[in-house]
Amino acid sequence: MRRTDREIRDPEAIESVIRGADVCRLAFSEAGIPYLVPLCFGYRKGVLYFHSALEGRKLDLIKRKPKVCFEMDMDHVLVRTADRCTMHYRSVIGFGKAALVEDAVEKQEALDLIMHHYHQEPFAYPVATLERTAIIRVEIDEMTGKANGC
């Protein structure tokens, strides 16, 4: 990272960005063509979970090219002074491997984690919802955190 003064080094502080962000951007690459999708997500111990429809471009890519890059950010504050304009933020960028979750128990747990990321109270969804929902698991290989002004 060029601005080492902005690097978040504490793993707990990096995780706090993951816990606080409400959107994760998941990026794929195939034959030199990038593809990025914004998604809701859940997180537990180095693993990100996403829910999805059962088909679509990102699922096709995961099956062929499972290496992904992800990004999330929060605490945006636009700061403007007489001679300077900047954006304060905290962000995380990481790399990992994506796979579709087939195990019914893990699918249920993943959906619970995603719901818990956004809602404090437990959420009861019909069992049939699980059957028409794909769950994506991303095992994180590495990630870095960065903060500007936070």
Ligand X SMILES: Cc1cc2nc3c(=O)[nH]c(=O)nc-3n(C[C@H](O)[C@H](O)[C@H](O)COP(=O)(O)OP(=O)(O)OC[C@H]3O[C@@H](n4cnc5c(N)ncnc54)[C@H](O)[C@@H]3O)c2cc1C
Q: Which of 19, 44, 57, 67 touches ligand X by CB under 6 A?
A: 57
Q: Which of 13, 27, 40, 115 touches ligand X by CB under 6 A?
A: 40
Secondary structure (3-state) at 15 = helix
Task: Please report, as residue ranges, which positions from 5 to 34 form the binding site for ligand X (by CB under 6 A).
Answer: 23
Could you tell me if 68 and 27 are in contact, meaning their C-beta atoms sit under 8 angstroms apart? yes
- Cα within 13 Å of Cα(140), Cβ side: 20
Closest distance to ligand X from the beta carbon of 25 (Å): 9
Q: Which region, left, alpha or beta, applies to residue 32 given φ > 0 means left and ψ of -120 to 50 means alpha? A: left
Closest distance to ligand X from the beta carbon of 12 (Å): 26
Q: Which of 58, 90, 117, 137 touches ligand X by CB under 6 A?
A: 58
CA distances in angstroms from 129 to 26, 53, 62, 102, 123, listed in the order given: 23, 10, 22, 14, 12
Could you tell me if 64 and 118 are in contact, meaning their C-beta atoms sit under 8 angstroms apart? no
CA distance 16 to 12: 6
> What number of chain residues touch ligand X (CB under 6 A)?
12
The reply on whether position 39 binds ligand X by CB under 6 A is yes
- Kindly indicate which of the ranges 5-13, 52-60, 78-86, 94-102 contains the residues binding ligand X, using the contact rule CB under 6 A: 52-60
In the bound state, the residue with its beta carbon closest to ligand X is 56
The reply on whether position 38 binds ligand X by CB under 6 A is yes
Q: Which residues bind ligand X (CB under 6 A)?
A: 23, 37-40, 50-53, 56-58
